[in-house]
Amino acid sequence: MTEEEWCGGIEPSRMLRFLLGTNFPRIQALEAFPDCKVSDRKLRLFACACYHRIRHLLPDPLARAAVEVAERFADGEATSEERERAAAQVRARLDAMEGRWRASRGAEHEALLPTHEALALGGMALWAEAPKAAYYAASNAHLAWAALMNPGEGPSGSGFFTSRLAEERAQADLLRCIFGNPFRPIVAEPAWRTPEVVALARAIHDDKAFDRLVVLADALADAGCNEKSILVHGRSKAGHARGCWVVDLVLGRT
């Protein structure tokens, strides 16, 4: 992948394979990712972001709680035992509905779809291997979105295709939000990290207050930051997520 392809890409699977450093056909079968270019933390936060983009269609409290555990685990605020316990709860719930889900048709299938997809995404966010969590959460999320937005229409339908493509584009923007431009890594100047800037970045991260990114960009500019990519991203109206590269740059997180 070239820098131009990354910056203009609309295929999250291809972008993720670049980050993971593999073209192996079946990601789930890999035991390790020795050429991965990015951290497990950011990959897991991307998986969570895929869920958050469509969570308004997935009203399941267990799935929502699972993703919250995954986010806290990514940031070192939840233990491996908590992650495993949450993952087991999701698996048990999915296993309990699997028979009915597979046998369902028509209206029953549509009624079960939001819960099934919510639990599937919640479980993926909690997978032990963050690279696999990111890769499969992305694919499941855009397919779930297309199915939920086009009830009764199969994958070959025009509405399904259009919805899937739109969600893939949004996921590509999320990848750029979280990972920035891997071809041009930015190093923050110590002078930019004023108490005001750091406090703003921490609040944006903790509260998911992405509407305050424009305020952060202005504060960075006041602190002497003239790095165009930082200011442009901070002032962008595109979707943002926890793990945003500008916020992480200020907080010193990878």
Digitized pLDDT (tens) for each residue of the chain, 254 residues in all: 999 999 999 999 999 999 999 999 999 999 999 999 999 999 999 999 999 999 999 989 999 999 999 999 999 999 999 999 999 999 999 999 999 999 999 999 999 999 999 999 999 999 999 999 999 999 999 999 999 999 989 899 999 999 999 999 999 999 999 999 999 999 999 999 999 999 999 999 999 999 999 999 999 999 999 999 999 999 998 889 999 999 999 999 99
The one-letter amino acid at 38: V
162 shares a domain with 135: yes
What is the per-residue pLDDT for 249? 98
125 shares a domain with 169: yes
132 shares a domain with 101: yes
| N-terminal to C-terminal alpha carbon distance within the chain | 22
Query: Would you say residue 185 lies in a domain?
Result: no
Query: Would you say residue 184 lies in a domain?
Result: no
93, two tokens:
């719930």
Q: Where are the alpha helices (DSSP H) in the chain?
A: 3-8, 12-20, 40-54, 61-74, 80-103, 106-125, 130-149, 158-179, 195-207, 213-222, 228-234, 245-251
244, two tokens:
């945003």
Measured at the CA of 141, the angle between CA 201 and CA 246, to 5 degrees, comes to 15
What is the per-residue pLDDT for 66? 98
Instruction: Please identify, among 135, 157, 179, the residue that sits at the C-terminal boundary of a domain.
Output: 179
198 shares a domain with 175: no
135 shares a domain with 232: no
What is the per-residue pLDDT for 181? 97
175 shares a domain with 197: no
d(Cα 252, Cα 38) in Å, to the nearest integer? Answer: 15
Determine the structural domain holding residue 207 and report its residue range.
190-251
What is the per-residue pLDDT for 238? 81
What is the per-residue pLDDT for 239? 84
202 shares a domain with 168: no
Q: Say what the pTM is.
A: 0.96
The burial class, CB within 10 Å (0-12 / 13-18 / 19+), for 148 is middle
What is the per-residue pLDDT for 219? 98
In total, how many domains does the chain have? Answer: 2
202 shares a domain with 170: no
140 shares a domain with 118: yes
Query: Would you say residue 244 lies in a domain?
Result: yes
Instruction: Please identify, among 125, 160, 179, the residue that sits at the C-terminal boundary of a domain.
Output: 179
What is the per-residue pLDDT for 24? 96
What is the per-residue pLDDT for 175? 98
99 shares a domain with 7: yes
Query: Would you say residue 165 lies in a domain?
Result: yes
